[in-house]
Structure formats: C-alpha cells, structure tokens
Amino acid sequence: MRPLRSTRKVGSSAGGSMTSSMVRLNIPLDPAKTGREAASLENGLRRMIVGQDEAIEQIVNIYQMHLTGMNAPGRPIGNFLFLGPTGSGKTRIVEATAEALLRNPRSVIKIDCAEFQHSHEIAKLIGSPPGYLGHRETHPLLSQEVLNQHHTETMKLSFVLFDEIEKASDALWNLLLGILDKATLTLGDNRKVDFSRALIFMTSNLGASEMSNLMSPKLGFGAGAARDRMNSGVVEAGMHEKLARSGAEAARRKFTPEFVNRLDKIVTFQPLGSDQLRKILDIELNMVQQRIFNSSSDRAFVFTLSDQSKDFLLEKGTDIKYGARHLKRAIERLLVQPMSNLIATEQVRGGDWIRVDFDGENKCLLFAKEAEGLPVQEMVRLVDTSVTMPAMAAANSASAEAAKIQTARSSKRS
Ligand SMILES: Nc1ncnc2c1ncn2[C@@H]1O[C@H](COP(=O)(O)OP(=O)(O)OP(=O)(O)O)[C@@H](O)[C@H]1O
Ligand SMILES: [Mg+2]
C-alpha cells in the first residue's frame, strides 16, 4: 500500500472512534462530477434532447445513484413526474433514455392512463383473478415478463411511462401508489411484479392551460406584444421559472400529498423557442435521412438543405404552443411528402444527392438532383453526423449494401 502523506495527527478531540495512527488529509472532493457511465448517458441525451437541461440532469443524477447503489432500497430506481407544454419532449426524453441505455427507444412500456378508467379495464393491466372467464387468455400488460423483456446482459433496467396520469381511475391510482412506494404490483392471480429495477415516468397536462396563458397572455397590459414575441419563437426572460412554479403548484393542488411525497422529482418542461427549434430541426432532418437509409438499402440517397430552406421550414414550423410537434408536421408536409413523390416517380434513385433550396418568389421548397451514382462513403460524408452519430453507424451498414448495389450497377453501365 502507498504510504499516506501525513499532514497532522488526529488528536483525541477529533472523535473517540479515530485511532492515533489515522492522518488527516483534507483533500477537497468534487461531488458535482459524474462517473463515466452517467456522463455518457448525459452526452447521449444532450445530443437527442434540446432545451430541457433540468430533466436531463435529474435523469442522469438518478441513474448515477442507481449505479453506485445509493438509491433507496425497495423502491423503483426513480419516480418522475413530467409537466409542461405539449410537444416539448416529455415522452421523447424517456425514449431517448431507453435508446441511450438499452439501444432501443421502443423498449419503453407505455400506459395511457385514459384507457384504464373503469375497473374492468384494469384487468388488461394486471390480468383477472383465477376463476374469471377468460382468465387464462388475458396476458397482463404489466407482468414481470413484460417488464424484463428488454433487459440485456449488461443492462437490467425497465422504463415504464404512465401518460396523462390525471385521467387515471381510482383503481389505477391505487396500483400506481403501490408501485411508486414499494416497487411492487400484485397481479390478478396474486403473483407479484417487482419494479425495483424500473424507472417510472409519469406525464400530465396538469396546469397546461395556466402555462399556455403565461406563454400567450390574452388579457392585460402588453398582452398583444407578448403574444407576438411568443409566436415568433422568443421565450421571455423569467418564463422558465414562472412555468416551473405554475406546474409545481398545479401538481400540489391536484395530487394528494401521499402521491407527491413518493416522487423523486417533478420537472416542468420548458416551451421551445426558435433557438431550440433550430437545433431540433437538424435532429429531425437527420432522422429523416436515417429513415431513407433504413427503408430500403438500394434506394438510399442523401439530401441537403440550404440555410434559406431551413429558415423556411422553421418559419412554417414555429408555434410555441405546439412545440416541436408543429415543426415535425411542417417537415412531413413540406419535405418528406414531396420527396416520397420523387421516389415513387423514380425521379430520385439510390446513390442520388438531392439539394433542397428555397424559392423566395413562390414561397416553397425547390428540389434538384445535384449528383448521382454516389458511392456510400461519399453519401455518408454529405450527411451531418454531428447530432446522431450512434444512429448513423446503423445507416452505414445499410448504405454499405447500397454501395455494393450501386457499384454493381455502375460497372454494368460501363
Ligand atoms: N426538447 C426536445 N428535443 C428534441 N426533440 C423534441 C423535443 N421536444 C419534442 N421533440 C420532438 O417532437 C416530438 C413530440 O414530442 P413529445 O412526444 O416528447 O411531446 P410531449 O412533451 O410528450 O407532448 P404531449 O404532452 O402532447 O404528450 C418528439 O418525438 C421529438 O421528435
Ligand atoms: Mg407525451
């Protein structure tokens, strides 16, 4: 063992349990630093999620506590309540966490609470008691098998998302309280499901109307100007704090203290302004590119957008009330649908490079073929890899196939 550098001897006044051979070091420690795995989760989330730093931080903190065995035993790994405007990333961040840790965004088990309002619907979740008609045929949605189905060799975590919890019936609410507190659910046939390796996320639109009023005031001094600023994608200073307060207050008003006490964290998601939407546009464009690479390897092509065409999509896709959902709809309508027409009519083929520009006169996007017969390396080089690099790795193999086919074709042509 390396001898410790002695600073000063511990005197008897320092505490009865210390021995005289113990030395004091007084080395400052940094508790804000996270371990390698938590840091890697944080980086992954920051690549996929824009403008929701608090939510990212809370998820990373809880994950780190889990890794070091510091979270409370006999409870789920984390219980989160997400509030805030629609289309701000509440569902997406759960999928992104599952993607970062399990490499599968579809591994999130989603329970839409609005679908379980009556007691007979609860049977879909927990199965019916033995003896009931159809007992054997019902496969509970929340069984241990379902919970563990996406576990990997190295990562035994489950992600469970309860959407719109304010719509849950009393019966569902009682189940939820048991899960949050004891990490246990009792199925219809009395089997127990263990949630101690699960992260529980709940979302609610609670306080949404107050929040939307804060973001886009209808009455009062300066309401018109404030609304205009919001509509053009400017989130006012102090808005984040106001929304967070409004969300937490709404949660305390609506939910019982026994529920609120079982939560590790209530996070109010922030409205997305132009700066955030601009970054989300790049992420979404990369996802469209990914879809093209994945859909059919022999049809893989690349597209690039000029700055003006991105500005146009942003202009059409900015609506602070609907967040990124509105932007996604604009991308589908103005970019994806026209491109699918180009594919269907064989104006675009595998190995093509499509350039998208903005026609200022007619206020629409222009599509032009910049090159054809590109080898895969060339296509990959054209794609912006800064945002979704891990996903691009999968695309590489898909487009490698495309490259082979492409080379085969070009050799036939020559
Ligand atoms: N902060 C964000 N960062 C990156 N992408 C986002 C963000 N917010 C939304 N998106 C994009 O918009 C889509 C819709 O967002 P999401 O489903 O997470 O909304 P939500 O907050 O759950 O809304 P709702 O309350 O209506 O369920 C996501 O799939 C994602 O593509
Ligand atoms: Mg959602």
Q: Could you say which ligand is closest to the alpha carbon of residue 92?
A: 1
* Within a domain: 23: no
Compute CA distances 225 → 231, 320, 407, whole Å: 10, 15, 58
What tokens were used for 106?
A: 């579809």
Whether 68 and 114 share a structural domain: yes
Whether 196 and 99 share a structural domain: yes
Q: Choose which residue among 82, 90, 92 to substitute to test ligand 1 binding: the one with the highest number of ligand atoms within 8 A of its C-beta.
A: 92
* Within a domain: 99: yes
* Within a domain: 73: yes
Give 190 Cα–ligand 2 centroid separation in angstroms: 32
Q: Which residue range forms the structural domain that includes residue 351?
A: 274-413
Give 91 Cα–ligand 2 centroid separation in angstroms: 4
Whether 288 and 232 share a structural domain: no
Whether 255 and 175 share a structural domain: yes
Domain stops at, among 239, 268, 297: 268
Whether 365 and 243 share a structural domain: no
Q: How many domains does the chain have?
A: 2
- Give the per-residue pLDDT at 390: 33
- Give the per-residue pLDDT at 412: 39
Give 202 Cα–ligand 2 centroid separation in angstroms: 10
Q: Could you say which ligand is closest to the alpha carbon of residue 85?
A: 1
Residues 254 and 209 sit within 8 Å (Cβ to Cβ): no
Q: Could you say which ligand is closest to the alpha carbon of residue 275?
A: 1
Compute CA distances 76 → 185, 195, 262, 321, 336, whole Å: 11, 6, 10, 33, 41
* Within a domain: 192: yes
Give 344 Cα–ligand 1 centroid separation in angstroms: 30
Residues shown for the chain: 414
Nearest-CA residue for ligand 1 atom 11 is 324
Atom number in ligand 1 closest to CA 51 = 1
Atom number in ligand 1 closest to CA 272 = 1
- The closest alpha carbon to 133, from 193, 192, 188, 171, belongs to 188
Residues 8 and 23 sit within 8 Å (Cβ to Cβ): yes
- Give the per-residue pLDDT at 381: 84
Q: Choose which residue among 54, 57, 91, 321 to substitute to test ligand 1 binding: the one with the highest number of ligand atoms within 8 A of its C-beta.
A: 91
Domain stops at, among 243, 268, 293: 268
Whether 285 and 216 share a structural domain: no
Measured between alpha carbons, how far is 256 from 234 in angstroms, rounded to an integer? 35
Q: Which residues line ligand 1 (CB under 6 A)?
A: 49-52, 86-92, 205, 272, 280, 283, 323-325, 328
* Within a domain: 13: no
Supply the CATH number for residue 403's domain: 1.10.8.60
- Give the per-residue pLDDT at 328: 96
Contact residues for 281 (Cβ-Cβ < 8 A; gap 6+): 310, 313, 314, 317, 327, 331
pLDDT in tens, the chain (414 residues): 444 444 444 444 445 555 678 899 999 898 887 788 999 999 999 999 999 999 999 999 999 999 999 888 899 999 999 998 889 999 999 999 999 999 998 999 999 999 987 777 888 899 887 776 665 666 889 999 999 999 988 899 999 999 999 888 888 999 999 999 999 999 999 999 999 999 999 999 887 777 777 766 555 555 566 656 666 666 666 777 888 888 888 888 888 898 999 999 999 998 898 999 999 999 999 999 988 888 776 788 999 999 999 999 999 999 888 889 999 999 999 999 999 999 999 999 999 999 999 999 999 999 999 999 988 888 888 887 643 333 444 444 444 444 444 444 444 333
- The closest alpha carbon to 274, from 305, 320, 236, 211, belongs to 320
Give 112 Cα–ligand 2 centroid separation in angstroms: 10
Whether 245 and 324 share a structural domain: no
Whether 392 and 328 share a structural domain: yes
* Helix, strand, coil shares, percent, the chain, to 5: 50, 15, 35
Whether 278 and 251 share a structural domain: no
* Within a domain: 11: no
Whether 242 and 284 share a structural domain: no
Nearest-CA residue for ligand 1 atom 18 is 89
- Give the per-residue pLDDT at 228: 64
For residue 261, give the 3-state DSSP assignment.
coil
Q: Could you say which ligand is closest to the alpha carbon of residue 87?
A: 1
Output the DSSP codes for 79-122.
Answer: EEEEES-TTSSHHHHHHHHHHHHHS-GGGEEEEEGGG--SHHHH
Whether 176 and 195 share a structural domain: yes
Domain stops at, among 241, 268, 295: 268
Give 163 Cα–ligand 2 centroid separation in angstroms: 7
Whether 198 and 308 share a structural domain: no
